[in-house]
Amino acid sequence: MMDWDAPSCPSCSGRGRIAYVGRTSWIETSCSDCHGTGNREDPRPGPRYNAGGFRIREEGEDYDEAVHGPRPPLSEHPAVRKSGLCPMCLGSGVVISEKLIEAHCPACTRL
């Protein structure tokens, strides 16, 4: 639990847990200063994961589909969702079918 070379947390004296005692009961919780490690410094955050079990890409990290999962469709990009454009045609009014034929967008009323 505690790294023996690191200085101990002053709040919990290196235990990582704090006990609150009342007259007839007690409760023990993780130390809020050291997050249960017992060390004075904050622990390094580990990699974050999304709901699908894939790692969330960190700042400066290259995108790898095997690690980070498949890329979301363009219509799910925050810039597209906030813009108010049609998610199917992105405001052009035209979509291209699987046979590469242009057609009017069925999702919006633009003709």
CB atoms under 10 Å from CB of 94, counted, come to 13
Is 55 strand, coil or helix?
strand
pTM: 0.32
Summarised one tens digit per residue, pLDDT across range 56-104 is: 888 888 888 888 888 877 777 777 778 888 877 888 888 877 777 888 8
Q: Do 84 and 65 touch, CB atoms closer than 8 A?
A: no
Summarised one tens digit per residue, pLDDT across range 21-32 is: 888 888 888 888
Q: What is the pLDDT of residue 111?
A: 46
